[in-house]
Amino acid sequence: MKPSTRRTVPALLSVLLCAAHAQTAAPPPGTVVVNGARGRAGDPHAIDAAKDRILNGKSASSCAFMDPYRRANDPVTLAYRNDFGLDVPLSDDVVRLSDLAPDGDVSNIVDSSGIDKNGGMPAPLAGPKTRGCTVADIRFAAGRSHIARNDKTLALGFEAYDNGNYARALQLFETAWNKIGYDEAALMLARQHLYGLGTPKDGAAAVAWLEKVDNKPYAPAERLRFDPAEPDAMTPRIEAAFMMARMYERGIGVARDPARARTWYDKAAGYGFVPALDILGEHALAGTDGPRDPVRGISQLKEAADAGYPAAQFHLARAYYDGDAVPRDLATARAYFEAAARAGVPAAMFAAGRMLDLGEGVKADPARAIVYYKDAALKGDRDARFALGTYFYSGEVVGKNLATARQWFGAAARQGQPDALFNLGVMTAAGEGGAKDPAMACVLFTLAQQAGHDGAAAALKALAPTLTPDERKRADAVLHPRVASAK
């Protein structure tokens, strides 16, 4: 018998053989940015609480005393902005001045009476009763900016690292951190300690450097604005949190700890990294890092999917298709599959094609299905490659071409697709679309059986009596290669 052309993926062929997957533009060099309050309005206690969370700790000293980021603080910050009528990005709520003249430009001042008493800051910011930045902060920020503008240690550190001089890179990155506090320096030091580059492997030291980045004062303006065109874009703070999550999830340099991994993924998500939301949602649905929480999982996947993250769109579509944690909804599943397919996710292309092929939630349309299959197959999806093979075998929609069918089955079989292994075995045993080779057919049926194909055992049983001793020997040599003895 020939392979069936029935496409019920993933077991499209089941009959068998009888006889044979915001950024704001940077200010010009020499410009110091000092974030501060702009007066008062509304509840002073709420305003004071919010100020501590919008002052930029990277610019000045006393402006740096802020709590680490907590999502619960965002409403406070928004309330603060509403009270002040601020509709522009938080990063625009700044005072800009030159680090060469932090107390103001006096080049055209005739006498001292014209010198700004507030050190270049608006009076409300420099007032003694106003919390936030002060004249001392301006001078601190100016000095820091001057050092940063002239410092070369970070660049030299990257140069040494790229040249393989890891010990020198370690020294330079440590100097860069101590002088300026570059996040990039701490991230590189974490990597060097984690992988033992220029220093013994030390997971605890790597964690300590990553925590230095995460523990820096956080301003909500730093929250990443997700761009679907660059889904993997990260800020240094996100990179630190995500690296910690991976370390604890996989036990790299530290003891494996799923709960801690979840905490760090949650932090990365809170900082605006949408892919972390997708991971959290998948874990919650599967119960990977604790008790299964379908409600939380679907909520996180939907947030990530609606933000435009293709992987989350595919995962959410799969949940709706399977009825996992939500009522089965083929229309919604197809919409999310197609959204992910448009973004280039091969598995989503295949899934969208499969629904059209089988008429699931939509009128069957094999001609449109094959377009999805082809796109997914060219991107390497093994199930789509197998599906294309069935079309060329049957001659439906496309012209019947056994050689092409055998090529597509072969491409999918090399990726371990069970049905493709089986069907390629059928064609190889019968000599369809290429040379007849019972020994190789035996190998393919054996691999299909190991991959879980239901019909492979019967095919092997039927084929075995027909093999010659030489064919048995060749099949055994492929399935059980002998390691040459060392000479």
Q: Write the DSSP string, 100-126.
A: TSTT---TT-SSGGGS-TTTTS-HHHH
Q: Is the pLDDT of residue 429 over 50?
A: yes
pLDDT value at 118 more than 80: no
Q: Is the pLDDT of residue 304 over 90?
A: yes
Q: How many whole angstroms separate alpha carbon 157 and alpha carbon 176?
A: 8
Classify residue 209: in a domain, yes or no: yes
Confidence (pLDDT) at 140? 74
Res 92: pLDDT: 39
- The domain total for the chain is 2
Q: Which residues of 360-389 are buried (b: 16+ CB within 10 A; e: fewer)?
A: ebeeeebebbbebbbbbbeeebbbbbbbbb
The pLDDT score that the predictor gives to residue 95 is 54
pLDDT at residue 131 tops 50: no
Does residue 104 fall inside a structural domain?
Answer: yes
Contacts of 175 (CB under 8 A, 6+ apart): 153, 157
Over residues 101-119, mean pLDDT:
64
Q: Name the average pLDDT for the chain.
A: 80
Give residue-wise pLDDT tens across range 359-376. 999 999 999 999 999 999
Q: Mention every residue, 6+ apart, whose C-beta is less than 8 A from residue 111.
A: none
Q: Which residues partner with 434 through β-bridges?
A: none
The residue behind tokens 């902060």 is 137
Same domain, 96 and 76: yes
Q: What average pLDDT does the segment 15-40 reach?
A: 35
- Place 336 in a pLDDT band, splitting at 50, 70 and 90: very high
Q: Are residues 127 and 37 in the same domain?
A: yes
Question: What pLDDT is recorded for position 223?
Answer: 86
Q: Which residue has the higher pLDDT, 325 or 281?
A: 281
Q: Are 318 and 305 in contact (CB under 8 A)?
A: no
Residue range of the domain that includes 116: 31-149
Between CA 243 and CA 371 the distance in angstroms is 39
Comparison of pLDDT for 132 and 428, the residue scoring more: 428
* Same domain membership, residue 67 and residue 47: yes
Q: Which of 79-88, 345-354, 368-377, 412-421 has the lowest mean pLDDT?
A: 79-88
Q: Is residue 367 part of a domain?
A: no
Q: Give me the pLDDT at residue 59, please.
A: 40
Residues 89 and 115 occupy one common structural domain: yes
What's the whole-number mean pLDDT along residues 294-323? 96
- Whether residue 145 is found in the same domain as residue 205: no
- Domain match, 60 and 75 both: yes
Secondary structure percentages of the chain, helix, strand, coil, to 5: 60, 0, 40
Is the pLDDT reported for residue 18 higher than 50?
no
More confident residue, 427 or 54: 427
Q: What percent of the chain is predicted at pLDDT more than 70? A: 71
Do residue 41 and residue 92 come from a single domain? yes
Q: What is the mean pLDDT of residues 102-110?
A: 66
DSSP 6-66: ---TTS------S-----PPPPPTTEEEEE------S-HHHHHHHHHHHS-TTT-SGGG--
Predicted local distance difference test score (pLDDT) of residue 240 = 96
340 vs 107 pLDDT, higher one: 340
Please state the rounded mean pLDDT for residues 3-14.
36
| pLDDT range class, residue 23, cuts 50, 70, 90 | very low
Q: Is residue 261 part of a domain?
A: no
Out of 149, 173, 191, a domain closes at 149
69 DSSP assignment: P
* CA end-to-end span of the chain: 49
Taking residues 449-477, report their average pLDDT.
Answer: 94
More confident residue, 145 or 49: 145
Which residue, of 149, 169, 185, is where some domain finishes?
Answer: 149
76 domain residue, yes or no: yes
245-264 pLDDT, tens digit per residue, is: 999 999 999 999 999 999 99
**pLDDT at residue 149, as a whole number:** 79
- Whole-prediction pTM: 0.74
pLDDT of residue 70: 46
Question: In terms of domains, do 141 and 77 share one?
Answer: yes
**Do 71 and 125 belong together in one domain?**
yes
Token pair of 115 as six digits = 């010198």
Residue that is last in its domain, among 204, 222, 240: 222
- Decide if 285 is inside a domain: no
CB atoms within 10 A of CB 128: 5
Among the listed residues 461, 406, 478, the one whose alpha carbon sits nearest the alpha carbon of residue 435: 406
> Is 251 domain-assigned?
no
Domain membership of residue 318 (yes or no) is: no
